[in-house]
Structure 1
Amino acid sequence: MEYNYYLQNCSNDDVIQFSNAIHKVGQLKTAIEFAANDQNKLPYTLLYALQEKGVKLENLVAMQKLLGDGLDAEVLKIGAKGWQKGKIRVRVTLEFEPEEPEIIETESPLDDLRRMMNNNT
């Protein structure tokens, strides 16, 4: 499970509010990891969705590996000399994108003095 940089700076006891509810960040991370990795709806839903589009996986165990540590795979790229071995996996990413604070330019008390000095010269 990947978390964007901002959530990595949050402790599990920090809180996040959305949909009129407040949750601890750790509770949210745990729930999403459970949904992605346990024999819950996500692995079944993804398995059937892939199969409907012609992507064949042997069984639910293969789907759980795809969502977890990954499945052994090989890639043949155009122009490559041969197959490259590795792992393929699906990552579920939890992100929080903070809004950029609006920068309000405030006038400095020294601006009046600068204007007076410029007017006198």
Structure 2
Amino acid sequence: MEDKFYQPNYGDDDVITFNSSEMCKFGRFKQVLQSALQSKLPDTLVEYLEAQGITGTSIREYQKGSFRVENYNRKWFIDGKNCEILSIGAGGWQKGKLRIKFTLEFCPDEPEVEELTQSNDVEINQTESPLDDIRQLMSKDTQ
């Protein structure tokens, strides 16, 4: 099966609905989704990674002038986490940041083909094609 999802480029004033009775602007939906991704999800993600033995994923910063350590796991989705990657065939470790980014993808439903029943025959109603004029001219030339 072919993957027909793509990243839509909808504007903030475009409208989205999930149950056909309530709608919201796409910009508002993106804001709420971004907020959700930066509030609870980062801590849950880090806890899960560390429970699976992938340690060092937490982002903590020490506050100057105090002994407090602040948790900044949301930076996974904003600035990224410092890391080093050793790729096969590379000349060594490459320092950088790894950021988690989510994308919204959309897959339009297939258009329904109208079926017309005439005298026990089923015909498919097709939309006019720009090639119809050329086909008519070609059929006249062959007659």
Q: Which residue of 1 aligns with 2:12?
A: 12
Residues 67-88 of structure 1 deviation map (CA, whole Å, 9 limit, x = unaligned)? 2110111111233222111111
| Identity across matched positions, percent | 36
Q: Which residue of 1 aligns with 2:80?
A: 70
CA drift of 1:18 comes to 1.8
Distance in 2, matches of 1:111 and 1:58, equals 66
Q: Which amino acid aligns with 2:128?
A: T
Structure 1 portions without partners, runs of 5+: none
Is 1:22–2:30 an aligned residue pair?
A: no
Is 1:106–2:105 an aligned residue pair?
A: no
Using structure 2 for the length normalisation, give the TM-score.
0.61
Greater relative contact order structure (CA < 8 Å, 6+ sep): 1
Q: Which residue of 1 aligns with 2:58?
A: 58
Change (3 A) 1:110 1:70: closer
Aligned length: 112
Distance in 1, matches of 2:107 and 2:80, equals 27
Structure 2 portions without partners, runs of 5+: 1-5, 61-70, 114-125
Change (3 A) 1:62 1:106: same
Q: Which amino acid aligns with 1:19?
A: N
Change (3 A) 1:24 1:74: same
More strand by percentage: 2
What RMSD over aligned residues (CA atoms) do the two structures have, in Å? 3.0
More helix by percentage: 1
Using structure 1 for the length normalisation, give the TM-score.
0.70
